């Protein structure tokens, strides 16, 4: 019979006695249709029927039970339940006695809960103790993000260059999409317009020799008709497929993640399925402490992947995230592959509440580690208690990327189809400068990238670390600008418009970056006056639609005449050009937003 030690207490004669009871069996209830969807998910990843059966039998130590009476959970939030074995006659008779008598039932919640306003039920923490398991969030919302002020309008006379770091993250889009599709109100502070723009694929020229191509397009600005729009698009080249992967998969098994563990398990299966013979991985879990589940496992055998996933046990409790990161980095430093991609992949809601917990402290810690040549990727989960600011800071300072998943479709797209893009870095520390000619440009504004603008000193500082770009990633920026000769809004003793020089140039793009080996490099492109005339570019309709959508969601002070009606007209223009039959597509999300916005948003 399996038992767990609950507590020690002094008996009436002063001797210590030990209360023991059977460890409850944990299980997850699932709707039959949802269970079938999960099975199909694993099949799409290439797991055989025997492997699918094992993966669908349990999750992090809890068995999966299929019941017709259970509703389909479109959010993929599953509470773990306790199936307590029948008590013995002795426990039935004496289990409710007060402390001081053998067999006394102990309070279930003698440790703090992982988050406030949660119901708790006993959950095994280790072989020797019990703790509270968060079961359900009510109206409490402790989600955090970093809300940056918007990039302001300027003239080329006041600010010669707009400089920003590349951003290939899509977490903001996925989170907002999930809120909209579930009919929930959107918090504007979570809106990062550049991540909405970069969540879409565009038709950009494929680079040949250089790490990436630079492409520009022209379009009209529907929310400010006296202005125009300029797209600056960068597409990374396709990386070699034979790059060795040396990964440390760092799994958050703390209490705040309990309802997300099914999605985490599916995420791990997706990442593992994309690895090949010659790659290596380790799996490290963390909550109150860390545990190495798998150490330098050779890849290529799916039976080994299933065994590794089934070895992860849900723990609950607090989140020692910084300790988990320290262990993952230490592991990769000890097993560093100088010819491979060395990367920590962390699966978490970012709710670090022990060790280093602040956004600034975590960012500083990761900055010290990026010099080791180890990258960091973040996969985020959660709703009410997730810490977007910490996850974004981790990825931004770890030369990695940050994705957010809410359902199996997200996992297939971000962690399977785009796995190589997220794993293999083509260029590091990518900084983009766009300088506009004051002879032709009266004023301009960069849309989005609010927390990623850089100074001229940072642009030229080769030690200034910023984000990189992965294989076949695209990065787009949208600039709203007004034709005319720029004038300084404030008197200046020295600055004068360059009305005579470079008569054919409307602008100049300069990109500073490092090769994966660390060599400093520069790419440039001139924007001619003729480029910004004539027909709207083929990517501009979708880009304009998404930008308008972002301006509305953010309630931007630069949204001009942007309205629901305008958004509807822009979508009607774009919709015939798309053939997407995806319920989570950009068009589907905007349609949902428009249908729910009439009186609520």
Beta-carbon count within 10 A of 572 CB? 10
Q: What is the mean pLDDT of the chain?
A: 82
What is the spatial distance between Cα 235 and Cα 473, in angstroms, rounded to a whole number?
6
Q: Which helix (H) or strand (E) holds 502?
A: none
Least trusted range by pLDDT, from 294-298, 313-317, 426-430: 313-317
CA 472, 587, 404, 54 dihedral sign is negative
Least trusted range by pLDDT, from 230-234, 330-334, 370-374, 556-560: 370-374
The residue ranking higher by pLDDT, 76 or 91, is: 76
The DSSP 8-state label assigned to residue 459 in this structure reads H
pLDDT attached to residue 302 = 97
What is the spatial distance between Cα 535 and Cα 551, in angstroms, rounded to a whole number?
24
Q: Going by DSSP bridges, is the β-strand pair 375-380/402-404 parallel, antiparallel, or unpaired?
A: parallel
Answer yes or no: is pLDDT of 281 > 80: yes
Average pLDDT over residues 70-74: 94
Q: If DSSP states are collapsed to H, E and C, what string results for 208-260?
A: CCCCEEEEEEEEECCCCCCCEEEEEEEEECCCCCCCEEEEEEEEECCHHHHHH
b/e map of 164-183 (b: 16 or more CB within 10 Å)?
bbbbbbbbbbbbbbbbbbee
Answer yes or no: is pLDDT of 138 > 70: no
What is the spatial distance between Cα 264 and Cα 349, in angstroms, rounded to a whole number?
11
Q: What's the CATH code, domain 244-423?
A: 3.40.50.410
**Cβ atoms 419, 271 nearer than 8 A:** yes
Q: Count CA within 13 A, CB hemisphere, residue 149.
A: 2
Q: Which helix (H) or strand (E) holds 296?
A: strand 290-298
Answer yes or no: is pLDDT of 249 > 70: yes
Sorting pLDDT into bands at 50, 70 and 90, what band is 401?
confident
Collect all residues with Cβ–Cβ distance below 8 Å to 338 and sequence separation of at least 6. none
What is the spatial distance between Cα 479 and Cα 224, in angstroms, rounded to a whole number?
13
Least trusted range by pLDDT, from 102-116, 240-254, 297-311, 491-505: 102-116
Answer yes or no: is pLDDT of 147 > 90: no
What is the spatial distance between Cα 561 and Cα 599, in angstroms, rounded to a whole number?
19
Answer yes or no: is pLDDT of 349 > 90: no
Q: Which of 168, 164, 169, 186 is nearest to 177 (CA)?
A: 186
**Cβ atoms 321, 355 nearer than 8 A:** yes
Burial of 86 (0-12, 13-18, 19+ CB in 10 A): exposed
The pTM (predicted TM-score) of the whole model is 0.82
**pLDDT tens sequence across 575-587:** 887 766 778 899 9
Sorting pLDDT into bands at 50, 70 and 90, what band is 230?
very high
Sorting pLDDT into bands at 50, 70 and 90, what band is 316?
confident
Answer yes or no: is pLDDT of 42 > 80: yes
Which residues belong to CATH 3.40.50.410 in the chain?
A: 244-423
What is the spatial distance between Cα 83 and Cα 171, in angstroms, rounded to a whole number?
36
Answer yes or no: is pLDDT of 490 > 50: yes
Beta-carbon count within 10 A of 347 CB? 26
**Cβ atoms 381, 268 nearer than 8 A:** no
């Amino acid at each position: 019979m399996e038992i767990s030690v609950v507590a020690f207490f002094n008996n009436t004669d002063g001797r210590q006695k030990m209360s023991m009871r059977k460890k409850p069996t944990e299980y997850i209830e699932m709707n039959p249709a949802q269970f079938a969807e999960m099975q199909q998910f694993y099949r799409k990843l290439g797991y055989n029927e025997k492997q699918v059966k094992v993966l669908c039998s349990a999750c992090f130590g809890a068995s999966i039970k299929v019941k017709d009476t259970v509703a389909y959970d479109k959010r993929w939030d599953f509470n773990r339940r306790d199936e307590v074995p029948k008590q013995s006659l002795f426990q039935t008779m004496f289990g409710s006695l007060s402390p001081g008598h053998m067999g006394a039932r102990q309070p279930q919640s003698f440790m703090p809960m992982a988050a406030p306003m949660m119901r708790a039920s006993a959950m095994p923490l280790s072989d020797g103790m019990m703790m509270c398991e968060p079961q359900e969030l009510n109206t409490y919302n402790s989600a955090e993000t970093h809300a940056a002020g918007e990039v302001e309008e300027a003239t080329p006379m006041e600010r010669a260059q707009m400089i920003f770091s590349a951003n290939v993250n899509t977490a903001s889009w996925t989170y907002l999409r999930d809120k909209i599709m579930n009919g929930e109100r959107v918090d504007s502070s979570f809106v990062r317009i550049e991540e909405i723009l970069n969540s879409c694929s565009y038709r950009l020229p494929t680079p040949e020799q250089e790490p990436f191509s630079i492409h520009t397009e022209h379009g009209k600005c529907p929310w400010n008709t006296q202005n125009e729009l300029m797209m600056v698009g960068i597409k990374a080249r396709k990386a070699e497929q034979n790059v060795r992967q040396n990964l440390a998969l760092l799994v958050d098994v703390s209490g705040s993640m309990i309802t997300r563990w099914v999605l985490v398990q599916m995420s791990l299966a997706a990442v593992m399925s994309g690895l090949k013979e010659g790659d290596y991985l380790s799996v490290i879990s963390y909550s109150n402490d860390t545990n190495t589940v798998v150490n330098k496992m050779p890849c290529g055998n799916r039976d080994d992947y299933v065994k590794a996933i089934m070895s992860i046990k849900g723990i609950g409790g607090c989140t020692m995230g910084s300790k988990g990161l320290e262990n993952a980095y230490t592991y990769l430093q000890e097993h560093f592959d100088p010819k491979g991609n060395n990367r920590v992949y962390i699966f978490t809601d970012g709710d670090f509440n022990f060790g280093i917990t602040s956004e600034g402290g975590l960012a500083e810690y990761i900055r010290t580690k990026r010099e080791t040549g180890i990258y960091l990727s973040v996969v985020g989960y959660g709703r009410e208690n997730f810490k977007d600011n910490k996850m974004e800071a981790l990825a931004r300072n770890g030369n990695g990327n940050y994705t957010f998943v809410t359902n199996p479709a997200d996992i297939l797209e971000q962690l399977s189809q785009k796995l190589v893009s997220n794993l293999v870095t083509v260029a590091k520390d990518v900084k983009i400068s766009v300088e506009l000619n004051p002879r032709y440009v009266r004023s301009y504004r960069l849309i989005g990238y609010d927390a990623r603008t850089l100074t001229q000193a940072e642009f030229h500082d080769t030690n200034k670390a910023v984000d990189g770009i992965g294989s076949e990633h695209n990065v787009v920026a949208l600039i709203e600008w007004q034709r005319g000769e720029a004038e300084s809004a404030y008197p200046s003793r020295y600055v004068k418009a360059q009305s005579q020089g470079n008569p054919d140039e409307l602008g100049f793009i300069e990109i500073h970056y490092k090769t994966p080996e660390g060599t400093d490099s520069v790419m440039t492109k001139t924007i001619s006056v003729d480029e910004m005339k004539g027909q709207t570019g083929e990517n501009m309709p979708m880009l304009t639609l998404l930008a308008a959508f972002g301006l509305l969601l953010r309630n931007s002070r630069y949204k001009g005449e942007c309205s629901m009606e305008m958004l509807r007209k822009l979508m009607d223009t774009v919709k015939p050009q798309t053939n997407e039959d995806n319920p989570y597509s950009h068009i589907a999300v905007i349609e949902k937003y428009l249908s729910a916005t009439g009186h609520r948003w």
